[in-house]
Chain A
Amino acid sequence: MSSSPPPSSAAASPSCPKKMIALRSSDGETFEIEEAAALQSKTLENMIDEDCAGTPIPLPNVTGKILAKVVEFCSKHAEPGVDDESLRAWDAEFVNVEQATVFDYILAANFLEIPTLLNLTCNVVADMIRGKTPDEIRKFFNIKSIFSPEEEEEVRRENHWAFE
């Protein structure tokens, strides 16, 4: 009897080539994401560690529409063998959306703690701010400035420098 032991077929659990994590958005949609992609999110990483797998992880702060995109982002960034250049191009396309959506992405990235997405989206917003006057910034982002005229004057004065 010299048969070699059969190759161990992993653990008792059904061996899946890739572990999928289920996520549930605030509006009840369920999404599946590969573990590798999910690990891009520190929040999810913690949850996975705690072995919440099995039941979908509820994400009450993220809608289905946004979660779908976030899953797409993480999956893309977890893909092996993508060169920097094309990833950058993909990222640029990804954030080529309307302002409101970018903010949604930021919120999701902040909540899910996805540094790459947060970095990308914050840069986009910073780019939107660049080159604008305060008034233009307010208009663009619909920010209500609640400086009273006196306050505004004070800010001006504080920052005034005698230019010799």
Chain B
Amino acid sequence: MHMGVSRCFPWRSRTSNGKKRDGFGTLPDNVVVDVLSRLEVDQLKCAIRVCRRWHALIATAHFARLHLQRVSSVTVVYPLCFEDPVYYNVGLFFIDWGSMEKKPIAGAKSPPALRDITVDRSCHLLGCCDGLFILIKTRTASMYEIHNPVTWERVPVPHKGSICGFFLHPLSNKYRLLSYRETPNGFWYQVDGLGPAACIDVGMFRYRPREQEAPSGVRGRLHWMVVGKEGVSPPCSHSIMVFSARENAFCFMPHPGDSCLPSKGHSNMHLVEMQGRVYVYAIQVKFMSIWVLEDHASWQWVKKCDINLQWNLNRHPVHDENVTSYENYKNMQLIDIRDGELLLFWPGRGLFQHNLQSQTIKRVPWPFMDGFGYDTYRMKTRVVMVSPEQDFKRLHPSGRVPLQGGSESLYGVYILGSSPEKLPRNKPGEGNEDNPGETKPLGVGRASPRAQVGPEQVLKLLPPE
């Protein structure tokens, strides 16, 4: 005995002319949000215009958070060419590990590819938080800008000091900038928001970040290798500076590994925030040692691997004859780490993928750089983790976000400086075990990718607080 269909699904009787009904009309808001949060950003641009309901659901900070949680992350590589006295940025590239997700065919995996993203070339990329870039104009020292690579929105955030951190404050859920200014007695640090709101003084310290970068932190803490005034190296015990966003306080910690010779300092050591973890790698002659910070509270580092860099040099000829054998390895950079594969940048030779298990390396083709000449021993890469991976795949080949008719971008989704949302910023037990976790994209270093599958982040910058 069947009851009348209309009693079970009352809306059915409301359908005007017959066959098709508005399926979405039957769904509660939370379900519609669930569906829409799976879309990539450029899809959301369309979705937001479909109807008032979708617009209302998408254009909220809540949706942005949800969306961000689904996002996967990507490492962005940013070569700097030092040929010019004022070095210029040659563009941004993101690393597409897409091949890693495909099922391996007979054990072989294709190497990651690099795809081009372009930002304004007169800017340098310092860091990235939740997919928002923080840029500094090359020729104007204090001109900083926050840039949304998806919507191309830009918000200038002029600062007298040097910005060294761009992070989301866990308690207030607002973005913050950490900056410092050099004074006769040391370096004065302060934290402020993106708008003209008041700054909070953190204090005077003897050291400043060694690299020009603005990390966004791992689990609410930012890390840098530091130097003192005039580039003097601190003792090993104070070589890493850690800033707690929650407490607005610094502490100084030793780097992992053996103590360094006083003469050398820690110049061969580099710290990177990557994939939700903090890594330190050190190049010693022909080896690269990599440590990962396992437990912050106890400052426990675990050696991840030692890589013998003595690869067959003949197979990967250098493009500049002036490079000596030590130079061969000294400036190597750890770019990315994923699934037991490392991505290494070898100045003068290119980008390589190193498999930790099999200890094999493979050259990663980088057509842009190949054309550029690879006189890369003078080039650096900065790696920034940014979510949305798929977004960048959709970028126009020239690197620009496709702006379809009318240059629509996404409306107010990730609202900076809005009132704090109750959404948990960090998942419980957060950080980045396998994949899920926090994205703290990062400046020169790397950053920790955000969780998971799915669509991209949806960001827009509103006028500062």
Contacts and interface: CB of A to CB of B under 8 A. Distances in A.
Interface stretch (A32-40, A50-58, A69-77, A118-126): A118-126
Interface string B20-39: 11111111101100111011
B43 interface: yes
B410 interface: yes
A27 to B, nearest CB: 4
Q: Name the prevailing secondary structure of the B interface residues.
A: loop
A5 interface: no
Contact of A159 (B27, B50, B411): B411
A126 B403 CA distance: 22
Given A103-B26, A118-B34, A125-B35, A146 B52 contact: yes
A129 B411 contact: no
A155 B35 contact: no
Given A155-B49, A159-B410, A163-B407, A99 B8 contact: no
A132 interface: yes
B186 to A, nearest CB: 39
A60 B153 CA distance: 49
B22 to A, nearest CB: 5
B47 interface: yes
A133 B411 CA distance: 16
Given A122-B31, A142-B21, A159 B38 contact: no
Contacts of A125: 23, 35
Given A122-B34, A159-B410, A163-B152, A103 B45 contact: no
Contacts of A118: 31, 34
A126 B35 contact: yes
Interface string A21-55: 00000111000000000000000000000000000
Interface string B233-250: 000000000000000000
Interface of A: 26-28, 60-61, 63-64, 99-100, 102-103, 106-107, 110, 118, 122-123, 125-126, 129-134, 137-138, 141-147, 151-152, 155-156, 158-164
Closest 3 CB pairs of A and B: A103-B23, A126-B38, A134-B49
